[in-house]
Amino acid sequence: MESQVRGGTRWKRFAVVMVPSVAATAAIGVALAQGALAASFSVSGQSFKVTAKSLHGNGFAQYGAIDQGYTLTGDKATHPVAVSSFKTATIQKMCQSVVTPVPVLGNITLRLEAGNSSDKDKQVQAERLYIDVEDLNADATFNNIDIGVAAKDASQGPGMKGGSEQANPYGFAQQAESADLTDVKQTAWATTAGTFKLSGLHMSLVKGSGPDKECY
């Protein structure tokens, strides 16, 4: 766990990393049960899948960056990503899954689901949400969009993330007052938020991988 300053606010990051250890995944389950995700939520270390029935976000901005990380063997790795950021977001029927090969056991899939209700008050609520996206498929509507601004001049989003991510402040960016995405399927390298309320959270660990065990 680490502290970080973003926009003058110090906040804590909780990292959920699927590692080749059954003991480690059990510890993740204990942390979830004790509410360790109340302050913030992050999945990093390897790519993972995310789906959502719908996402409504206010204060949207998107810019290119390079994520710095490590492979499961401890080697340094870099990944080009498009960072999608929202000041606030409401997500219906969110799913995140990550697959890790475990010696002897084979592939193990960690899957998190939340916000399955049609009641917006019981859906996933996030503030200062950042998603480092590698691949995205969705139907999207952007309201009052501004394309081609410099990343440093994007005023709609919560600001550039920083941390282990490297972004060119003068690079290409786009922004909008709000964004609505439906039938979202994406591959990402990190998800972080200042606050992440996961209503109806369910976590499962299953042996194997594939669309019947992962989010898609």
**117: confidence class by pLDDT, cuts 50, 70, 90:** very high
Cα 104 to chain centroid, rounded: 29
CA angle 123, 154, 149 (to 5 degrees): 125
Kindly give the residue spans of alpha helices, DSSP state H, lying in 20-127. Answer: 22-33
pLDDT in tens, 17-31: 333 344 444 444 444
Cβ proximity of 47 and 134 under 8 Å: yes
pLDDT in tens, 147-206: 999 999 999 999 988 776 788 889 999 999 999 999 999 999 888 888 888 889 898 999
